[in-house]
Homo-oligomer: A and B are copies of this chain.
């Protein structure tokens, strides 16, 4: 990983606590040592017995800050494998993805194939925090001929496969306005009101026009400022996101947001900073990649094949797929059903476990179609 390419890294104390916890849970100290500072990506490279192309699969591993349900009917509670840790839960199937990746590795361990298999275990997908970006920038997928980034999807039949999720390109930003406090009654003219700047920015960011022929979105999700009723607010902080069908239009939105934040600050003689805290590009899957996956799915009893789906969210797999494409390879995102209809990121999220061997087999067949 390129550490600088990560957008958001936990505070040192948090990293240290996680490190200690992993050690206490029995992790190998020599391996842990190499992951210090949150550099936790793992790329497994399996060279086949014959020369051939390189195939990569991406498995994201990170959890989400959700407290797992106490509901006794929740399978992880019945079978006693719920999260040990309070406020942290695998509520988006990334543990399943990791298990699939490891099983796939053992299935391919005989190396009886022509080419190279790369299994990418990625941290920090949630919040598009830079996990994929820091792997891509390291050059780890530059030699890849074909990459697949997969996701289990709750509430969808295991027999359904979606070949190309048109995720939106997105950027998350944090803007801070710096003003000057003053007594609001005694000398209001000496203050520089950070909340006047922030409120103007908020209204105007939401007033950025929609783009024709391109779904676009902006949102100021958080605004916080001021300290007391009788003090001119000297600081305000906003969290903003933009999204668009294409990376290029998303970048235009980011420029517009920056201009609005800057102009709003200057209106009231405020200082300001704007920092990118997450991003993902759009994903345009290659037809060839989808075709291979659908062929593989056919022999496994998948019954529904959706070529394109307009996903309203974002995924930083974009960094890996785009890098492969820039280097001459191909790739696509793949989503497959895992049935249980509790929403992703909810406290009672779960997958139907039948999806585990199914997706493992699918990826194995995909790999063998290319490397076999």
- Which residues of the other chain, B, contact A239 by a CB distance below 8 angstroms? 226, 228-229
Least CB distance from A245 to B in Å reads 11
Q: A312's closest neighbor in chain B, by CB?
A: B186
Out of B172, B207, B210, B230, name the residue touching A203 (CB < 8 Å).
B207
The residues in A between 210 and 232 inclusive whose CB is less than 8 angstroms from any CB of B are 210-212, 214-217, 219-232
Asked if A353 is at the interface (CB within 8 A of a chain B CB), the reply is no
Check if B185 sits within 8 Å of A195, measured CB to CB.
no
Residue of A221, A224, A269, A312 with most partner-chain B CB within 10 A: A221
**6 tightest Cβ-Cβ pairs between the two chains A and B:** A263-B267, A184-B219, A206-B207, A186-B312, A188-B209, A199-B199
- Which residues of the other chain, B, contact A243 by a CB distance below 8 angstroms? 185
Check if B233 sits within 8 Å of A226, measured CB to CB.
no
Interface range for A: 35 or more
- Which residues of the other chain, B, contact A186 by a CB distance below 8 angstroms? 212, 312-313
Q: A228's closest neighbor in chain B, by CB?
A: B221
Out of B185, B221, B256, name the residue touching A231 (CB < 8 Å).
B221
Known: A191-B209, A196-B203, A263-B266. 13 other contacts (CB 8 A): A185-B219, A185-B314, A206-B206, A206-B207, A209-B232, A210-B216, A210-B217, A220-B226, A221-B232, A222-B233, A223-B233, A256-B269, A259-B268
Check if B185 sits within 8 Å of A217, measured CB to CB.
yes
Asked if A116 is at the interface (CB within 8 A of a chain B CB), the reply is no
Q: A183-B312, A263-B264 are in contact. Are A222 and B228 (CB under 8 A)?
A: yes
Tell me the complex Cα distance, A226–B241, Å: 13
The residues in A between 118 and 175 inclusive whose CB is less than 8 angstroms from any CB of B are 168, 170, 172
Least CB distance from A348 to B in Å reads 19
